[in-house]
A and B are shown apart, each in its own frame.
Chain A
Amino acid sequence: MSSAYAHPHPRLSSVTSAASSPTASSSRFSLPSAATLVTASKSGAGQRPNIYDRNLNKTRIAEVSGSAFSFLFSEVVQYTQKRVSGINDLERRLNTLGYRVGIRVLELMIWRAESSSKASKREIRLLPALMSIHTHVWRAVFGRPADALEKSVENADEYMIIDNDPLVERHISVPKDLSQLSCSSFTAGIVEAVLDGLGLPARVTAHSTPTAQLPNRTTILIKLEKSVLEREELLK
Chain B
Amino acid sequence: MAIFGLWVINKAGGLVYQRNFTDGLAQLTSNEYLVLAGTLHGIHAITSRLSPIPGPSSGAQVIEGETFKMTILLTATGTKFVLLTSLAEPSADVMLQKVYDAYADAVMKNPFHTPEMPIRSDGFEQRITSLIGDGRTTS
Give A residues with C-beta under 8 Å from B. 67, 70-71, 73-78, 81, 171-175, 178, 183, 215
> Chain A CB within 10 Å — which of B105, B106, B111 has the most?
B111
Which of B33-41, B80-88, B121-129 sits within the interface?
Answer: B121-129
Asked whether, in the complex, the Cβ of A175 is within 8 Å of the Cβ of B120, the reply is: yes
Number of interface residues of B (CB under 8 A): 14
Q: Which residues of B contact A70 (CB under 8 A)?
A: 105, 109
Q: How far is the CA of A77 from the CA of B109 in the complex (A)?
A: 11
Let me know if B97 is at the binding interface, CB within 8 A.
no
Count, A-B residue pairs, CB within 8 A: 40
Let me know if B110 is at the binding interface, CB within 8 A.
yes
Q: How far is the CA of A73 from the CA of B121 in the complex (A)?
A: 17
Q: Which residues of A contact B105 (CB under 8 A)?
A: 70, 171
Q: Which residues of A contact B126 (CB under 8 A)?
A: 215
Asked whether, in the complex, the Cβ of A171 is within 8 Å of the Cβ of B110, the reply is: yes
For the residues of A in contact with B, the DSSP-based class is helix
Asked whether, in the complex, the Cβ of B123 is within 8 Å of the Cβ of A171, the reply is: yes
Give B residues with C-beta under 8 Å from A. 105-106, 108-113, 120-124, 126
Q: How far is the CA of A67 from the CA of B121 in the complex (A)?
A: 18
Q: Which residues of B contact A73 (CB under 8 A)?
A: 111
Asked whether, in the complex, the Cβ of B112 is within 8 Å of the Cβ of A71, the reply is: no
Q: How far is the CA of A178 from the CA of B122 in the complex (A)?
A: 13
Asked whether, in the complex, the Cβ of B111 is within 8 Å of the Cβ of A172, the reply is: yes
B106: nearest residue on chain A (CB-CB)? Answer: A171
Q: Which residues of A contact B124 (CB under 8 A)?
A: 173
Q: How far is the CA of A101 from the CA of B109 in the complex (A)?
A: 21
Asked whether, in the complex, the Cβ of A178 is within 8 Å of the Cβ of B112, the reply is: yes
Q: How far is the CA of A110 from the CA of B18 in the complex (A)?
A: 52
Q: Which residues of B contact A183 (CB under 8 A)?
A: 111
Q: Which residues of B contact A71 (CB under 8 A)?
A: 108-109
Q: Which residues of B contact A172 (CB under 8 A)?
A: 109-112, 123
B123: nearest residue on chain A (CB-CB)? Answer: A173
> Chain B CB within 10 Å — which of A76, A77, A173, A183 has the most?
A173
Asked whether, in the complex, the Cβ of B109 is within 8 Å of the Cβ of A174, the reply is: no
Q: Which residues of B contact A215 (CB under 8 A)?
A: 122, 126
B122: nearest residue on chain A (CB-CB)? Answer: A173
Q: How far is the CA of A174 from the CA of B126 in the complex (A)?
A: 14
Asked whether, in the complex, the Cβ of B112 is within 8 Å of the Cβ of A174, the reply is: yes
Q: How far is the CA of A173 from the CA of B103 in the complex (A)?
A: 13
Given A172-B111, A175-B112, A175-B120: 5 more A-B contacts, CB < 8 Å: A70-B105, A77-B111, A171-B105, A171-B110, A183-B111
> Chain A CB within 10 Å — which of B105, B109, B121, B124 has the most?
B109
A206 → chain B closest CB, angstroms: 15
Q: How far is the CA of A173 from the CA of B109 in the complex (A)?
A: 9
Q: Which residues of A contact B121 (CB under 8 A)?
A: 173
Write 11 A-B pairs (CB below 8 A) sorted by A numbering.
Answer: A70-B105, A71-B108, A75-B111, A76-B111, A81-B111, A172-B109, A172-B111, A173-B121, A175-B112, A175-B120, A183-B111
Q: How far is the CA of A73 from the CA of B108 in the complex (A)?
A: 12
A235 → chain B closest CB, angstroms: 43
A179 → chain B closest CB, angstroms: 11
Asked whether, in the complex, the Cβ of B109 is within 8 Å of the Cβ of A74, the reply is: yes
A82 → chain B closest CB, angstroms: 11
